[in-house]
Amino acid sequence: MSDPITVSLFHRMNFRDEENLLDRTVQGVISTPMDRPEGPLKVSGTATYADEDHPPGTVYGWLVRATITKGWVVGLNSRALRRMPGVLAVIRDERMIRNPAQGGDAKSPYQGPAEVFYKGQPIALVVAETFEQARDAATAAQAEYLDRSHKAVIVPAEAEYETPRGEQSSQGDLDRAMQEAAFSVDVEYTTPSMSHASMEPHAAVAWWQDGRLTVRGSYQMLNTNAQELADALGVSPKKVRILSQYVGGGFGSKLGISHEAVGAAIAAQKLGRPVAVALHRRQVFETTHRRSESRQRVRLACDAEGRMTAVGHEVWVSNLPGESFSEPVTQSTPFTWAGENRLIGHHIGRLNLNGAGSMRAPGEAIGVPVTEAAMDELAEAAGIDPVEFRLRNIPEVDPSSGKPFSNNRLAECIRRGAEKFGWADRPKQPGSRREGEWLIGMGMSAIIRVNMMGPSTARVTLNPDGTALVETDMTDIGTGSYSILTQIAAEMLGLPPEKVTTMLGDSDLPPSIGSGGSRGAASSGTSVMLAAKALRKKIAERMDCDPDDLTLKDGTAIAGNRQRSLSDLLAGDTLEGTGTIKPGLAEMHHRQASWGAEFCEVAVSSVTGEVHVRRLSGVFAAGRILNAKTARSQCLGGMIFGIGQALHEKVETDARDGNFVNRDLAEYHVPANLDVPHIDIELLMDDRDAYANPMRAKGIGELATCGTAAAIVSAIANATGHRFRHFPVTLDKVLEKLG
């Protein structure tokens, strides 16, 4: 076989993409609810996750963590620990990190285990022959401190807040608009800190060979993660390889490199043996990222006809000292609703708690539920149905910038959702519908999530036998990357999906943006599409036709009245195509977002204060749907996420020292089966966004969680006649209101 014939295609989104090639291909694979190619491996337990494949001679590490909240480590009983059975090393190294990286920034976070910024911060790693020996020795560790815990700031109310440059904006005169409005609301909501609590805990296995490090870990953005790890270790990124073939959930907690990978890499280097470090569930809660708590002030106003004149949204969030990330709570507020007078404010307080980072749909996940609940309050004050009130206030262009929308299907989602749900039957008078002890109510919310793209590259190889191989370092964190990338390549090359193999999760493969921010499918998918498009051009040359006149179906190339099998056309050659996509001016000149609307019915017990979500329905527009089954699954997961946000989830910390009170899934409550009703989902399959990317697809992984909680709390208000502005709405709060 000859050397591969390589062709490449580069695309930067600087303009509206007019080609819309995927609507002209004929294989009929794209958008179908195709099963996951890796599904049989997962359900049979043979898919290999990070901590399930240990090289021969692997030893085990366990983190030693600080027992103070602020100060310095000045000593450790390392000598005594090294005498314990099986202990190979007690590692204190300046390269160990204070907190996980946020992801997207190749620079590692604060390093050095000597200074303590929060209780539970890793300060050392004990390595032993067995997992149990490492855990036993780490539990016996006793550190000496220069303790400054009395100077720690634990409670948000005691923090000093700063306003980052560029995070505050205003138009018109909000205060005057509020005073002159026919109707207005000025309300304060709070959301608690939350934990990602992924099914698979953080884990890493590291080994060095010929001066190069390999880490098998559970991470979401391998290209950036390899750079972060290299930065932490002080080596070239070329000397680091990360493998992450399967990830058992991340929700943002695995965007950046974490303690276990850095510790395992350092230990493996010092011992010359593979080292595995897996975090206990409690360590996951206490040392990885949390979602920041928030305090949000929302000011909204409208005229007598219900036309909005003012939108104000100010937020107070937190993070560790020195961290640049803060939850972008107001991210979608500037462009969602009309109103010529506007104020956006963002403030960060510094706390001695584990670092705050991205958690599924950072920004809108906690911002949209609050603004949407406040929209309901304004609609009620104006005496206008919440559906009609929103429809009156959808802007024609982004009111904060004047940019046109790339597309805006919000009104259609709201109308379609209201009709399907039976919104006309909603109790007009709050607290008026009752079934025995149960108060019945309905609520709704608009659903908004910004759409973004990241640089991604993929390689697609067409083999002489007519099969294809897709390669990129993209990850699949349960979202369906294996499915959609297989479908895109199969559709573009006219192949049955079973003739396409997709390889992911290896940082040595072409770099993608990874899984995060609802960018992965559209970005890496477009790179696969472009790589396959480059191959189509080469096939057209062999068919002696224009690429626009080429049809590929079931392994056959067709042009005019001629057709040849791909294997015959290749004549023993291997064709290799690469595709690269990068964001450009299209993102700057057009406001891009995914849209939806959700509707909820609840029953609230007047005796116990329990809230049962009885029905939940959503309609979503996210551009081209790449796989109807995985897209629906993402919406299901997002809406269940929203149930937890509205009714269950809250990290509890001890205000005296920042200690986590509910640091496992026994005490940190998430929705269980009986908390989740039948969920009805409709995807607008005809949606296309020509400004998003050549596939015309947009992010859907985080969309459905951006507002679910508002639909639930507004339904509770409709059922009980009482507003709840502090999430989650637990039964004690309901009972207090009901008296």
Active site residues: 702
Q: Determine phi and psi for 674, rounding to 5 degrees.
A: -75, -10
**Distance between CA atoms of residues 171 and 343, nearest Å:** 6
Helices (H), 479-544: 481-493, 520-542
**Distance between CA atoms of residues 733 and 610, nearest Å:** 10
Q: How many residues does the chain have?
A: 739
**Distance between CA atoms of residues 736 and 739, nearest Å:** 5
Which residue, among 429, 380, 426, 433, has the nearest Cα to 606 in the 3D structure? 433
- Check if the beta carbon of residue 397 is closer than 8 Å to that of residue 580: no
**Distance between CA atoms of residues 562 and 535, nearest Å:** 19
Which residue, among 34, 20, 50, 607, has the nearest Cα to 279 in the 3D structure? 50
What string of DSSP letters covers 340-361?
Answer: SEEEEEEEEEE-SSSPB---SS
> How far from each other are the two terminal CA atoms of the chain, in whole angstroms?
81
Q: Determine phi and psi for 424, rounding to 5 degrees.
A: -60, -20
623's torsion region: left (phi>0), alpha (psi -120 to 50) or beta? left
Q: Which residues contact 173 (CB under 8 A, 6 or more apart)?
A: 341
What angle (nearest 5°) sits at the alpha carbon of residue 713, between those of residues 603 and 318? Answer: 145
Tell me the residue type at 141.
Answer: A
Burial status of residue 712 (CB atoms within 10 A of its CB: 0-12, 13-18, 19 or more):
buried
Which residue, among 638, 637, 644, 627, has the nearest Cα to 683 in the 3D structure? 627
How many C-beta atoms lie closer than 10 Å to residue 678's C-beta? Answer: 8
Structure tokens at 625: 């749907």
**Distance between CA atoms of residues 678 and 671, nearest Å:** 14
What is the helix (H) or strand (E) element at residue 368, kind and residue range? helix 364-382
Structure tokens at 8: 């490449």
Q: 664-671 — which CB contacts under 8 Å span 24+ positions?
A: 664/281, 664/282, 664/285, 665/197, 665/281, 668/195, 668/197, 668/285, 669/644, 670/197, 670/644, 671/640, 671/643, 671/644, 671/647
Whole-angstrom CA distances from 85 to 58, 137, 275, 521 are 17, 8, 17, 48
**Distance between CA atoms of residues 243 and 231, nearest Å:** 18
What is the helix (H) or strand (E) element at residue 618, kind and residue range? strand 611-621
